[in-house]
Amino acid sequence: MKDLNVDHLVQRVLEEIAKNRQTAIHFPEQKQLGVPQPNNREALERAMGRTPARIGIGRAGTRLKTQSYLQFRIDQAAAQDAVMKSIDPGWIERLQLPALYTRAKDMEEYLMNLDSGRLLSDESAAWLSQHGEKGKDVQIIISDGLSTSACEATIPDLLPALMQGLALRKISVARPLFIHRGRVWVQDHVASIVKCKVVISLIGERPGLATAESLSAYMVYQPSERIVESDRTVISNIHRGGTPPIEAGAYLAELLEDILRCQASGVAYAQKRMKEQ
């Protein structure tokens, strides 16, 4: 019996799946019960249907079954790819987004130096100061963050729903921006330039083995140098298996309207809402 080259087999599986996908790489696990003759099949299948966790996969002796091991390697590769790959410039052009950059010159610097992703580069800051739309109610920022795949998979549906929801509420919105290698705090720098009331960042989350396409939305009311993390309102797990992008866009528009009404975000916003109830 010939030795099984697992790395070669994983690569072949990845190549085959990638051929059939034209969007962001995402490899959802086809959940199959791997436990032979379980004591309570119905309960186990019900649990498997309620969580993306790897349960009920069975084993071969003391090891994972080949199918489970290969799926793990595929999901791991998708997570790594989501972090390291560059976003397609054509994707940004199709959405008609101005592309700005932080001070992180590449992904290595972005990952190793947190501050490099928190400020715009001098060139991008100068462009925004000259061309940015000032004094609007809302400024939308889109950033690849730690998952390019999240942006590619969710933004085309989320952004139109969000823009439409804000328009219906007669909330003024500056032209959305795309920021390469941005972290959450870059929204503070952007807001200090455009002088908006609320800034919202749609940013790729750190990918996990359940999905590499999860997006988060961070909102802050009138950010300043005194802003701390508890001043931000966060909605996470925006993806097909969590909150669907279109639904998230509609909900975020409603939430932004309420943040503007309360003139607060984060903990202060939550406290005001509790008092109203």
pLDDT single digits (tens) 17-41: 454 444 333 434 456 777 788 888 8
Share of the chain above pLDDT 90, in %: 53
pLDDT single digits (tens) 199-210: 999 998 876 545
Say how far residue 153 (Cα) sits from the centre of its chain: 9
pLDDT tier, 116 (very low <50, low <70, confident <90, very high otherwise) = very high
The pairs formed by 48-56 with CB atoms below 8 angstroms and a separation of 24 or more are 52/210, 52/211, 52/241, 53/210, 54/29, 54/209, 56/31
- pLDDT computed for residue 229 by the predictor: 93
CA 47 to each of CA 64, 113, 136, 200: distance values in angstroms, whole numbers, following the listed order: 20, 40, 47, 36
In angstroms, rounded to a whole number, what is the distance separating the alpha carbons of residues 204 and 154? 10
pLDDT single digits (tens) 50-83: 776 777 777 777 887 777 766 666 665 555 554 5
Say how far residue 138 (Cα) sits from the centre of its chain: 19
Domains of the chain, CATH where assigned: 6-84 (1.10.30.40), 89-276 (3.40.50.11240)
Q: Which residues are annotated as a binding site for adenosylcob(III)alamin?
A: 184, 205
Q: What angle do CA 148, 209, 56 make, to 5 degrees?
A: 155
Lowest-pLDDT choice from 19-28, 141-150, 261-270 = 19-28
Q: Which residues are annotated as a binding site?
A: 184, 205
Lowest-pLDDT choice from 54-68, 98-112, 159-173 = 54-68
Q: What is the DSSP letter of 102?
A: B
- pLDDT computed for residue 27 by the predictor: 38
In angstroms, rounded to a whole number, what is the distance separating the alpha carbons of residues 172 and 253? 12
- pLDDT computed for residue 74 by the predictor: 62
> What amino acid occupies position 27?
F
